[in-house]
Amino acid sequence: MVVTDTRELTVQGRFGNAVEEFRERGWWQDGSAGALLDRWAAERPDRRFVSDGTTELDYATLRGRAYRLGATLRAAGVGTGDRVAVQLPNWAEFAVSYLAIARIGAVMVPIMTVYRETEVAHVLRNSGAVAAVTTGEFRGFDHAAMFRSLRAGAPELATLVIARAPAQDGELAFDDACAGTEVPELGPQPDPDAPHLIVYTSGTESTAKGCVHTWNTLDFSGRGLARDVFHTTPDDVVFMPSPVAHATGLVVGLLVPLAVGAQTHLLDVWEPHEGLRRIAEYRCTATATATPFVRMALDAAKGEHPDVSSMRFWLCAGAPIPEALAREFGGVFTGGRLVPLYGASEVMAATCCHLEDSLERMSSSDGTPALDGVHIKIIGPDGDEAAPGEEGEICYRGPGAILGYWREPERSAAVIDGEGWHHMGDLGRADADGYVRVTGRLKDIIIRGGTNISAGEVEGHLAAHPSVAAVAVVAYPDERMGERAAAVVVPAAGAAPTLEELTAFLRTERRIAPHKLPERLVVVDALPMTATGKVQKFRLRELARQEG
């Protein structure tokens, strides 16, 4: 497959003859988010679907609010295939927005609340969003004001919906957009093979790429995780402190419970003591987070005695699970299992361990192919499949892969080969039994608390500082977050900049997300280079580590 134009982002162009197999095997079931919502609203209307500590919505109420919001968006000019950006915390309004947008056949573009003007402007321009749903001030930052200022550079953005904050003239208040008692008729369910979701993900490039999922590619992962990994039942309550605007939070926090008619509880600001309290209060049974969240929760539990016995399953991504951590987890979350998963926004779930796997497997691998239908292979430097135990690039093929990157045919073609394999850009080894261990990455990224930071992007911003002659951004290890970012700077003539000066510049002048700010500064006379002129980042990582 070679994607040459956005119009070629079709299931036939991406998957070819495999589409028939996906349907025959039941991996694609050609349903819709709206059809699932209709089913549960009819079968269990009073069953709570989403709560967030402030708002609780049962399936029937959720359906009414979502469909009225969908009708409001349609009346405002949002049509089938139009993109709608959503930057909201982990609130019930996010679930309402997602189901409203999905029901009218529009495409949701989730944006994490940590993103600021630079990242949001790129997403709006690249996606061509015609509408956005956001809030006012959250954690000291006014999101509505940011969107208002960005509209001048995003002429297609005609509609702005404001949740839990006052709307100005020409804007829609979220509650007003959902108001009423009637459930409008919205016509046929949307095409399950059309673009359904565009998740923007950071990689090695300076700008985020838009991962285009259909309902079928997304549902494959959500339904499969619910069935084969979480073993979710209608009695489960998924706890979701990870951002639902991120791939993990969206799939596990919304699609897994929606697949079986279960519940979800959302936490908008992760704080481990509050997290334990919510798990106990809402009797949460399963979750998925970056591995550092687990360490923080276990540390918080040492001084408390919350009843977290309901939590039976905690899926971890972004860092290995030490055996000692898994054993400690089982002692606090009595009978619970800590399970590793490896995935990405492009494929959602690639590999994971399963409940029948031993503790040794859980701590020594990232599992086998996560779901029936997923194929994983390791490609060596020569382009051939690597032998067991040999390191190479991890590649994915299966029904959960994206169609490609939105409006980025060159980037799509660079990672999806002619046989349909998606080259993940990560390094790993597979043993003789097919268990994969992620060993590193080809991509130049820092994974801070499970969130990717593009080193190249931050370097580009730092290079604009007048006191910086040259710069490289690298990861250094951190027990709490897994990794943090360090800036290695060659100063321009004059005094070297301080870390505070650089982060203030990034925050106020370049307006990038706060989680991307370097947390360590190393000043050097020159960056070490290879004979071909490439920065030797392995040496800089060691320097950054030693600075601690």
Q: Is 429 left (phi over 0), alpha (psi -120 to 50) or beta?
A: beta
Over residues 441-498, the pLDDT tens digits come to 777 889 899 888 988 889 889 988 999 988 999 999 998 899 999 999 999 887 899 9
DSSP letter string, 417-475: -TTSPEEEEEEEEE-TT--EEEEEESS-EEEETTEEEEHHHHHHHHTTSTTEEEEEEEE
Q: Where do runs of H (alpha helix) occur along 355-431?
A: 359-364, 409-415
Q: What is the pLDDT of residue 161?
A: 98
Contact 174, 164 (CB under 8 A): yes
Contact 370, 355 (CB under 8 A): no
Please indicate whether the domains covering 33-45+57-190 and 445-547 agree at the CATH topology level.
no
Q: Where are the domains of the chain?
A: 33-45+57-190, 445-547
Q: What is the pLDDT of residue 205?
A: 55
- Identify the DSSP state of 190: P
Q: What is the pLDDT of residue 206?
A: 62
- Amino acid identity, position 536: Q
Average pLDDT over the chain, rounded to an integer: 93
- Pick out the chain residues at pLDDT < 50: 1-7
Q: How far apart are CA 240 and CA 287, in angstroms?
A: 6
Helices (H) and strands (E) in the chain, counts: 19, 28
Q: Would you state the structure tokens that stand for residue 412, as one six-digit string?
A: 């799509």
Angle between helices 59-75 and 92-103 (to 10 degrees): 60
pTM to 2 decimal places: 0.88
Q: Please state the separation of Cα 12 from the chain's center in Å.
A: 26
Tell me which residue of 342, 354, 333 sits closest to 284, measured CA to CA: 333
Q: What is the pLDDT of residue 298?
A: 92
List, in sequence order, every beta strand (DSSP E) within 215-272.
237-240, 263-266
3-state secondary structure of 134: strand
- The CATH code belonging to domain 33-45+57-190 is 3.40.50.980
- The CATH code belonging to domain 445-547 is 3.30.300.30
Q: Please state the separation of Cα 301 from the chain's center in Å.
A: 27
Cα dihedral 286/288/293/297 (nearest 10): 0
Length of the chain: 548
Over residues 71-100, the pLDDT tens digits come to 999 999 999 999 999 999 999 999 999 999
Which residues does 191 contact at the CB level (< 8 Å), separation at least 6? 105
Angle between helices 117-127 and 143-150 (to 10 degrees): 50
